[in-house]
Structure 1
Amino acid sequence: MQLPNDYIIAPDPAAKRLTRAVSGFDHTGAEVDIAVVEERPLTIYLNRQEVVTAMTIGDYPEFLAVGFLRNQGMLADDEEITGIDFDEELDVVVVRTASQTTFEEKVKKKTRTSGCAVGTVFGDMMEGLEGLDLPAAPVKTSWLYALARKINTTPSLYLEAGAIHGTVLCHEDRPLVYMEDVGRHNAVDKIAGWMFLNGVTAEDKILYTTGRLTSEMVIKTALMGIPTLASRSGFTAWGVEIARQVGLTCIGRMRGKRFVCLSGAERLERDVDPDSVPDESRKSGRKGKT
């Protein structure tokens, strides 16, 4: 497959395993066949410890597993991963490390005491923000306009079937890695896993997402070390508060020439006249809903 816009990884809407054709009826009563996104469970293990079962479209399970563990603080920056085993039949992925991580015993303790290890993971993510100060990376508005135009016209499952979220790792005005999933957090974790396994630095990157800029999206972006987060969608108040706390540039409601920056506006370099940017037609862009 030839990748559009020089992506390193881009969606493959034609991948048969990710969608299926389902028959139904439209508003006129006519029979129609539409592509519907698949959803399947993926159980993630850290060495011998089962950590979580996530619902996912099923692509890039290794990246998803490593990214999830990384974003939850279960893998340190210098963690040595000795193997990643994926069993497609069982929908299980096992991430193996050279030595037992400190988190394995922590997860076991939570499982024994509450029956739900993941329910307390959010607090652990918040702990990871203590003392975090992201680099004050400049952001040119010309980059934002170019990225929105390229990403919104990239063939994707979102355009093909809807009911899915997309997240894109970018450098300046170039989209690099475009991941999709039924959950926006899964898409972010896939990118985090790809970055970790390929030793990709974060301080000069932009993360673009189709989803809302919630507290968890902001936290994941910050923990990845990415200084800029942009979205077609809106914000939550807590997400903005955390973004300001850690110095994350947070830009939302990006459509055509319009956007809103609620954190890090001093880092924007307005190098293009918005009136020179075509506005986005309401009929253009993505079909379907996330």
Structure 2
Amino acid sequence: MTEFLLAPDPAAPRLSKAVAAIDHTGASQTIKIVTERPLTIFLNSREIVTAMTIGDYPEYLALGFLRNQGMLGDGETVTGIDYDDEIDTVVVRTAVETDFEEKLSRKTRTSGCAVGTVFGDMMEGLDRVVLPKAPVHTSWLYALSRKINTRPSLYLEAGAIHGSVLCEGDRPLVYMEDVGRHNAVDKIAGYMFAKGVPAGDKLLYTTGRLTSEMVIKTALMGIPALVSRSGFTAWGVELAKSVGLTLIGRLRGERFMCVAGAERLVWDAPPSAAPGDHARHKRKGAGDD
């Protein structure tokens, strides 16, 4: 079956630029850095948020952000999405005006990894989430680690960026990157909403930390497993256990730690005697999260 229905394009001119730099020896170098631009999201006539983003897939980012914040429900009919690249604005239009338009005032969402705009509505409905008890095969984890970490990406080209990947079994399907890990997840949520992609048999891979917000987003999307090459926060682990989410972190090659949902692991591929972490594919000097 097809892998990577969508994937990063490191050569896209709008996503990065070359700048002059001086290295530790005093030598002149030219390096690539990612771009960053504001994107203002409207829900009908109401300005909802301004997100800092690399600028690709703005429609998916807008849809996913609204979806993950609970502003677009399952029964919501989206009648149009208008993107204006000159003023970096996306307007999502619905058949009926939603309650959130009068409820929310203008907010600015930063590209920071630990801080972003988080509306209290994200917690609403979490107690009603019922995730399928989907198995996670260890062979899938090993294959995904290899395929994702060897895929050309902006991370490998320029760093300072996060990635999230929607996977089915051992197949990575949709790979999104952005300056904030939440943006990358929102783009995937927007893609799933727009295309009607079912979530119950999927796995979400992220390069960032497994925080409470990441767990909440994944659970509300209906995805039963969340995997990262990075680590965890205590609240993230507790929330994963409470909603029945399989939570796996520190995935490097054939090494990982499962802190929630271990009973759903299927041990169909024991790690080799000398497991690798695909370090040769990691951008030199890049951090974990």
TM-score range, shorter chain: over 0.9
**Are positions 1:279 and 2:273 aligned together?**
no
**Equivalent in the alignment of 1:212:** 209
Match of 1:68 among 65, 69, 74: 65
| Whole-angstrom CA distance in 2 between matches of 1:181 and 1:189 | 10
Deviation at 1:56, TM superposition (A): 0.1
Deviation at 1:282, TM superposition (A): 4.1
**Equivalent in the alignment of 2:87:** 90
After superposition, residues 1-290 of structure 1 pair within 5 angstroms as: 6-107=3-104, 111=105, 116=107, 121-275=118-272, 278-280=275-277, 282-287=279-284, 288-289=286-287, 290=289
| Whole-angstrom CA distance in 2 between matches of 1:8 and 1:278 | 29
Gaps of at least 5 residues in structure 1 are: none
| Whole-angstrom CA distance in 2 between matches of 1:277 and 1:65 | 43
- 1:236-260 per-residue CA deviation (whole Å, 9 max, x = no partner) reads 0000000001000000000122100
Deviation at 1:276, TM superposition (A): 5.5
Q: Call closer, same or farther: CA 1:26–1:219 in 2, change over 3 Å.
A: same
Q: Call closer, same or farther: CA 1:121–1:159 in 2, change over 3 Å.
A: closer
Deviation at 1:275, TM superposition (A): 2.3
Q: Does the 8 Å contact 1:256/1:277 carry over to 2?
A: no
The one-letter amino acid paired with 1:135 is P
The alignment yields a C-alpha RMSD, in angstroms, of 1.7
The one-letter amino acid paired with 1:6 is E
| Shift >6 Å, 4+ stretches | 117-120
| Whole-angstrom CA distance in 2 between matches of 1:120 and 1:92 | 18
Deviation at 1:6, TM superposition (A): 2.6
Gaps of at least 5 residues in structure 2 are: 110-115
Q: Call closer, same or farther: CA 1:61–1:167 in 2, change over 3 Å.
A: same
| Whole-angstrom CA distance in 1 between matches of 2:43 and 2:141 | 37
The one-letter amino acid paired with 2:150 is T
Q: TM (normalized to structure 2)?
A: 0.93
Q: TM (normalized to structure 1)?
A: 0.93
The one-letter amino acid paired with 1:95 is V
| Whole-angstrom CA distance in 2 between matches of 1:120 and 1:284 | 33
| Whole-angstrom CA distance in 2 between matches of 1:191 and 1:120 | 18
Q: Whose helix fraction is larger, Structure 1's or Structure 2's?
A: 1
Q: Does the 8 Å contact 2:252/2:278 carry over to 1?
A: no
The one-letter amino acid paired with 1:260 is M
Deviates more, 1:115-124 or 1:131-140: 115-124
The alignment covers a number of residue pairs equal to 280
| Whole-angstrom CA distance in 1 between matches of 2:278 and 2:177 | 24
Deviation at 1:120, TM superposition (A): 8.1
Tell me the percent identity.
70
Q: Secondary structure at the match of 1:211?
A: coil
